[in-house]
Amino acid sequence: MAEHGEQLELIRRRVRRPPAPRTFTPAPELPIARVVVDVPLAHLDRLFDYRVPASMHESCVPGCRVRVRFAGQEVDGFVLERVARSEHGGRLVPLRRVVSAEPVLSPEVARVARLIADRYAGTLYDVLRLAVPPRHARVEDEETVAPANAGGPDARAVAEAEARWQEYEAGTAFLAALRRGDSPRAVWTALPAEDWSGCLAAAAAATLASGRGVVIVVPDHRDVTRLDRACRRILGGGRHVVLTAELGPAERYRRFLAARRDRVRCVIGTRAAALAPVADLGLVVCWDDGDDLHAEPRAPYPHVREMLALRAHDARSAALIAGYACTAEGAQLVESGWARRLGPAREAVRARAPRVFAVGDSDVELARDPVARAVRLPHRAFEVARAALADGPVLVQVPRGGYVPALACQDCRERARCAACSGPLQLGSARQPAACAWCGRPATAWRCPQCGGARFRAPVIGSRRTAEELGRAFPTVPVRVSGGDRVLAEVGPKPALVIATPGAEPVAEGGYAAALLLDGWLLLMRADLRAGEETLRRWLNAAALVRPGSAGGAVVVTGESALPVVQALVRWSPGWYAERELAERQAAGFPPAVRLATIEGPSEAVRETAELLEPPPSAEVLGPVPIPSGEGDEETARLIVRTPRGDGAALAAALKAAQARRSADKAAGTVRVRVDPHALG
């Protein structure tokens, strides 16, 4: 027992003995690392200084990933720079470890990320999360080489692509400036049936010839595929990489490193490519900038067009904002002098555009032909489709997918809703009963709560119902549907009816013989600031797939011809409509004429933010007002703040300061701040 007691005493002494102090040997040069840490709190959006141990001196390079101790936890971070001394007067904590010595964050991307965060009242790390993909260790160990060379450029293809630029005023001068190493900036409205991918590849080739890099961002994977083919043909194999979020983690990181290690200087892709680390950036391009796929759904919700504009400003590079349509933001860039308009001459438009007919969808129009009435088509649209099907495929654009996506009462026209959850009722097919779109319950014994009626009417029909009706009207013609999870990329030149939702229109070999743009009123009636602009964009993108009028191409749009948006399509004048839209927004005080921010969240949190907010004197505060939340019974609200464009930076800083105070005080409730939101209903 005595021996046992002695052992216990010895153990107690060992436990009480303080541990021997660790010896810390600092790095021989630049012993301080300035790190941006992965902390989502606005009041901590700054760089923090850490000591660099001698053992990490070689691996801790600017741009590398590290793990650091922060607020009692180990978190990720990026080293932005190494300095000789710190401005912090207290004791500095050493780095925990260097995750990888690969400098994945370039100085240029870090600068632009800071500009984007300040522009959108966000945090730097949120933007870096969009810029740098997750690490894949095995890929880092690979010897990154340029993509396999599949042959040099096709001289004939290059000449043809460059010749297309001659149809645009100052188009040839734009290419020449890129080839000289200059930095022209333009808003380009493409001609109908234009090979836009070949034109962009030619611009990329001219920029690469000057020894500079290129970033081209398009909305979706179909556009990426088309642009990829053009770049292979015009640039030659191995001179570009495709970067999209749909790639697997290993392949995405591999292509990211190819650009970061300067193995390739042309990156094309979707939103994921907007901040690609291309060396010596000489040109940034945003195709179809009005597409809502360019709006990032994650904080701080930046738009690709604005990100690329900030990159062009920082790198003093060329910029091209392009599309068949032109947005009010594009018109603003031209009006401010930041960019020049790059459009076709009217003679070229008349030679390339299809004939456009605007027809009403009134009962008088429908009554002229019983077959047209059966398929809910105006007489002119039915006749154009019947004549065009003798010569090729016909595109039918329908605003909504599904069969009958909405039902209403036949007697009082009230929207039909589910008796159990108040969700909208819809039809999935002709053989299925009406059912709720939310809970899926069939409405077999439905009665209208307003008038007691028991019959449905279909105020809107979807793409599948339209395909069914047109198939009965043209029984010998094949019908193909593109939309939802079944999007066609291409169709052949043979006669066919192609029913597509906006954005899902396949490209037809040789062009469509005609296009029918149906239910235009449904697009124009959307409760959105961009309803007219977005409607014209969708119409132009579809009409651009049709053959020229000289080759028999025709477009029929259902809409009142007196409407400005219909006139813009008939005259093929996207620039005119964009200038008109910009003037109206200037008069009404909406973006891009002003800087506008929305603050949404729980009502109490929004009110707290409004009290903390110190906007510039020119600011106008609207609200807060209650909004539908769709999430339980929690009351939500929206606050709108707008200022003149010149005070936009001050507004963003004030929003950031208010969020910082709330996060520092650990205030309850999360608010979502959006600066110049793409959709504003």
Strands 318-323 and 185-189: parallel
Residue 403 predicted with pLDDT over 80: no
Q: Are residues 309 and 452 in the same domain?
A: no
Q: Output the six-digit token pair for 164.
A: 């297309």
Q: Are residues 508 and 396 in the same domain?
A: yes
**Angle between helical axes of 221-234 and 155-164 (0-180°, round to 10):** 120
Spatial CA neighbour of 291 closest among 302, 300, 309, 304:
304
Domain annotation covers residue 486: yes
User: How confident is the model over 641-652, as a mean pLDDT?
Assistant: 96
> Domain ends where: 550, 585, 620?
585
Domain annotation covers residue 26: no
What pLDDT, on a 0 to 100 scale, did the predictor assign at position 71?
A: 87
Domain annotation covers residue 136: no
Contact at 8 Å (CB) between 56 and 98? Answer: yes
Task: Domain count for the chain, please give it.
Answer: 4
How do residues 98-113 score in pLDDT, each as one tens digit?
999 999 999 999 999 9
Q: Are residues 326 and 198 in the same domain?
A: yes
Domain annotation covers residue 108: no
Q: What are phi and psi of 587, to 5 degrees?
A: -70, -35
Cα(591)–Cα(680) distance, integer angstroms = 10
User: How confident is the model over 505-524, as a mean pLDDT?
Assistant: 89
Cα(127)–Cα(439) distance, integer angstroms = 37
Domain annotation covers residue 8: no
Q: Are residues 397 and 492 in the same domain?
A: yes
Domain annotation covers residue 13: no
Residue 655 predicted with pLDDT over 80: yes
Contact at 8 Å (CB) between 636 and 556? Answer: no
Q: Are residues 560 and 598 in the same domain?
A: no
Q: What's the pTM value of the predicted model, to 2 decimals?
A: 0.88
Domain annotation covers residue 133: no
Q: Output the six-digit token pair for 590.
A: 């909406």
Q: Are residues 551 and 633 in the same domain?
A: no
Which structural domain range is residue 52 located in? Answer: 32-103
CB within 8 A of 184, min separation 6: which ones? 174, 177, 178, 318, 340
Q: Are residues 579 and 628 in the same domain?
A: no
CATH number of residue 628's parent domain: 3.30.70
What are the CA-CA distances from residue 276 to residues 138, 244, 357 (Å)?
21, 10, 43
- Within its chain, how far is the Cα of 551 from the centroid? 35
- Within its chain, how far is the Cα of 376 from the centroid? 34
Query: Which letter does DSSP use for residue 148 in this model?
Result: P
Q: Are residues 302 and 208 in the same domain?
A: yes
How do residues 218-235 score in pLDDT, each as one tens digit?
999 999 999 999 999 999
User: How confident is the model over 435-441, as a mean pLDDT?
Assistant: 74
CATH number of residue 46's parent domain: 3.40.1440
Model confidence band, residue 347 (pLDDT cutoffs 50, 70, 90): very high
Sign of CA pseudo-dihedral 492, 216, 502, 397 = negative
Cβ of 166: how many Cβ atoms within 10 Å?
A: 11
> Domain ends where: 585, 605, 623?
585
Contact at 8 Å (CB) between 184 and 318? Answer: yes
What is the C-alpha end-to-end distance of the chain, expressed in Å? 83
Contact at 8 Å (CB) between 332 and 151? Answer: no
> Domain ends where: 558, 585, 612?
585
What pLDDT, on a 0 to 100 scale, did the predictor assign at position 525?
A: 74
What pLDDT, on a 0 to 100 scale, did the predictor assign at position 373?
A: 46
Q: Are residues 267 and 386 in the same domain?
A: no
Q: Which residue has the higher pLDDT, 135 or 13?
A: 135
Domain annotation covers residue 19: no
Residue 334 predicted with pLDDT over 80: yes
Helix, strand, or coil (residue 366): helix
Q: Are residues 520 and 621 in the same domain?
A: no
Q: Are residues 393 and 343 in the same domain?
A: no
Cα(97)–Cα(99) distance, integer angstroms = 6
The secondary structure of 160-194 as a DSSP string is HHHHHGGGBTTHHHHHHHHHHT---EEEEEPPTT-
User: How confident is the model over 366-377, as a mean pLDDT?
Assistant: 52
Cα(135)–Cα(459) distance, integer angstroms = 50
CATH number of residue 330's parent domain: 3.40.50.300
Q: Which residue has the higher pLDDT, 198 or 524?
A: 198
Q: Output the six-digit token pair for 6.
A: 């002695």
- Reported in sequence order, the residue ranges of 343-477 that DSSP labels E, i.e. its strands, are 355-359, 394-397, 406-409, 425-426, 435-436, 456-460
CATH number of residue 553's parent domain: 3.40.50
Lowest-confidence segment of 15-29, 278-292, 602-616 by average pLDDT: 15-29
Contact at 8 Å (CB) between 673 and 664? Answer: no
Q: Are residues 345 and 441 in the same domain?
A: no
